[in-house]
Structure 1
Amino acid sequence: MESRTYGYARVSTKEQNLDRQMIVLQAQGIDERNIVIDKESGKDLDRKGYQSLKNTMLRRGDTLIVKSLDRLSRNKCDIKKELEYFKENGIRLKVIDLPTTMIDFADGQEWVLEMVNNILIEVLGTIAEQERASIKQRQAEGIAAAKAKGVELGRPKAQKPDNWEEIIGQWKAGEITARKAMELTGTTRCTFYKLAKE
Structure 2
Amino acid sequence: MTQTILYARVSTADQTATHQRSQAEAAGFQVDHVVTDDGVSGVSTRLAERRQGQRLFDMLRRGDLLVVRWVDRLGRNYGDVCETIREFMRRGVIVKTVINGLTFDGATTDPMQQAVRDALIGFMAAMSQAQAEATKEAQKAGIMHAKAQAEARAYRGRKVSYTRNQFETVQAMLGQGAAVAAIAKATGLSRQTVYRISADPAEAEAALARWAA
Equivalent residue number for residue 83 of structure 2: 81
- Report deviation, 1:110: 6.6
In the TM superposition, residue 123 of structure 1 has moved relative to its aligned partner by 2.9
1:1-198 equivalences under 5 Å are: 2-12=1-11, 17-27=16-26, 28-31=28-31, 34-41=33-40, 42-43=42-43, 44=45, 45=47, 46-54=49-57, 56-101=58-103, 111=110, 114-123=114-123, 127=126
Unaligned runs of 5+ in 1: 132-198
Contact 1:8 1:37 in 2 (8 A): yes
Distance in 1 between residues matched to 2:71 and 2:83, nearest whole Å: 12
| Distance in 2 separating the partners of 1:12 and 1:113 | 34
1:132-187 CA distance string (max 9 Å, x none): xxxxxxxxxxxxxxxxxxxxxxxxxxxxxxxxxxxxxxxxxxxxxxxxxxxxxxxx
In 2, distance between residues paired with 1:110 and 1:8? 27
Segments of 5+ residues of structure 2 without an aligned counterpart are: 131-213
**For residues 38-69 of structure 1, what are the alpha-carbon distances to aligned partners after superposition, in whole Å with 9 as ceiling and x for unaligned?**
11321222211121011x21001111010111
The normalised TM-score by structure 1 is 0.51
In structure 2, how many angstroms separate the alpha carbons of the residues matched to 1:47 and 1:14?
Answer: 19
CA contact (8 A) 1:14 1:39 kept: no
Q: Structure 1 residues 36 and 115, CA, compared in 2 at 3 Å: closer, same or farther? A: same
Change (3 A) 1:109 1:97: same
Matched letter for residue 120 of structure 2: L
Secondary structure at the aligned position of 1:59 is classed as coil
Change (3 A) 1:99 1:15: closer
Bigger Rg, structure 1 or 2: 2
Bigger proportion of residues as helix: 2
The percentage of aligned residue pairs carrying the same residue is 33
Residue identity opposite 1:52 in structure 2: R
Please report the RMSD computed on the Cα atoms of aligned residues, expressed in angstroms.
3.3
Question: Does the CA contact (< 8 Å) of 1:38 and 1:49 recur in 2?
Answer: yes
TM-score of the pair, normalised by structure 2:
0.48
Task: Give distance in 1, aligned partners of 2:61 and 2:14.
Answer: 32
Taking the aligned partners of 1:64 and 1:5, their CA distance within structure 2 comes to 6
Q: Helix, strand or coil: the match of 2:62?
A: coil
Contact 2:71 2:124 in 1 (8 A): no
- Partner amino acid for 2:53? Y
